[in-house]
């Protein structure tokens, strides 16, 4: 009977030490979560500042583009007006020349019929040459104006295309940082949900055990279970919000993606980067878990050996019995 009491006392001491270590580990985990929350808030603040700066730059750029287009339209209207005025002036001058020549012809009507007919023919030839020259000048002017407008239009289009490509490349960088940040947050929230689920199962087991043993700590475990469910609901809501943000950002990035592909710009899609980052994190966590599992097995084996040593020192008969039992266990 005394040996059983000593065994129970040793087991209680071992459980108390295990509980103390667990409480210390829980405190470390809580501190790590608080630190991660602070870092997340700082990252979101920096991202918002960068986003506001980018939005202002894009708005200013659009305003400048609109101003340039207004100037181009004004210049086109002025050029069209000048061309029309020149044409009207040339036409007026031709009409004045015609009237002047007709006046001379009327003045020379008293001259000889042959001379009159000759002058009329010379006038007709002169008018034809003048019209041909005028038409040639007008055609040359229109051609030069059209060429200048086309050259300016092509240059402006090229500059706008280069500017749009630059903006798309800058937006790619912004989207990559945003999507990777959201992906990291989603990964952390999912891992947090898995940890909460494990805590809920552990708390449920403790609650069932306390109910069956009439332990007064059952109320504490019940409240803890409720708190974990509330925390899980909040985490799920935050996780859904982050996923919605990722979907919205991806939809907004689609025009930029198509423009970059059309321009022949090679880039790694942020979705692939996020997936690769998640795989790397999972691989590291598996390595850590394997390492910790090995350490825990070593600690358990050492503690079992220590218990056996204490029991052997307290009861030599137990040593003989354990030696007879060990081959069967093995």
33 pLDDT exceeds 80?
yes
pLDDT band at 29 (very low <50, low <70, confident <90, very high): confident
At 301, the pLDDT band (50, 70, 90 cuts) reads low
Chain segment 224-236, per-residue pLDDT in tens: 778 888 888 888 8
Structural contact between residues 299 and 199, judged by C-beta atoms closer than 8 angstroms: no
- What are 240-296's pLDDT values in tens digits? 898 888 888 888 878 887 877 787 777 667 777 777 777 776 677 667 666 666 665
Contacts of 224 (CB under 8 A, 6+ apart): 203
For residue 76, give the nearest of 130, 148, 131 by alpha carbon.
148
Percent of the chain whose predicted confidence (pLDDT) is above 70: 80
Confidence of residue 141 (pLDDT cuts 50, 70, 90): confident
- CA–CA separation, 112 and 110 (whole Å): 7
- Considering the chain, what percentage of its residues have pLDDT values greater than 90? 0
Question: Using CA atoms, how far apart are residues 149 and 298, in angstroms rounded to an integer?
Answer: 83
Going by pLDDT thresholds of 50, 70 and 90, the confidence category of residue 170 is confident
């Amino acid at each position: 009977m005394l040996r059983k009491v000593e065994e129970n006392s040793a087991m209680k001491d071992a459980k108390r030490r295990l509980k103390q270590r667990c409480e210390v580990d829980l405190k470390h985990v809580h501190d790590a979560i608080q630190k991660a929350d602070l870092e997340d808030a700082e990252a979101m603040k920096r991202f918002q500042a960068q986003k506001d700066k980018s939005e202002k730059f894009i708005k200013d750029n659009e305003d400048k583009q609109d101003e340039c287009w207004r100037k181009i339209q004004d210049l086109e209207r002025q050029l069209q007006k000048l061309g029309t005025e020149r044409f009207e002036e040339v036409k007026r001058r031709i009409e004045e020349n015609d009237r002047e020549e007709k006046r001379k012809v009327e003045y020379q009507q008293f001259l000889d019929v042959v001379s009159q007919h000759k002058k009329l023919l010379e006038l007709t030839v002169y008018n034809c040459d003048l019209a041909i020259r005028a038409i040639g000048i007008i055609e040359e002017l229109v051609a030069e104006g059209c060429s200048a407008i086309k050259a300016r239009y092509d240059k402006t289009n090229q500059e706008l295309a280069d500017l749009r490509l630059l903006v798309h490349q800058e937006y790619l960088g912004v989207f990559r940082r945003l999507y990777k940040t959201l992906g990291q947050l989603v990964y952390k929230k999912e891992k947090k949900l898995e940890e909460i689920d494990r805590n809920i199962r552990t708390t449920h087991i403790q609650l069932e055990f306390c109910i069956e043993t009439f332990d007064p700590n059952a109320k504490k475990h019940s409240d803890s279970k409720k708190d974990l469910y509330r925390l899980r609901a909040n985490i799920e809501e935050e996780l859904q919000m982050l996923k919605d943000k990722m979907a919205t950002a991806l939809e907004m990035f689609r025009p930029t993606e198509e423009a970059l592909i059309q321009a022949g710009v090679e880039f790694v899609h942020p979705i692939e980067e996020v997936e690769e980052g998640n795989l790397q994190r999972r691989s590291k966590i598996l390595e850590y878990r394997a390492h910790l599992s090995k350490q825990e097995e070593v600690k358990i084996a050492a503690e079992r050996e220590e218990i056996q040593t204490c029991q052997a020192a307290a009861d030599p008969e137990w040593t003989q019995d354990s030696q007879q039992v060990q081959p069967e266990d093995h």
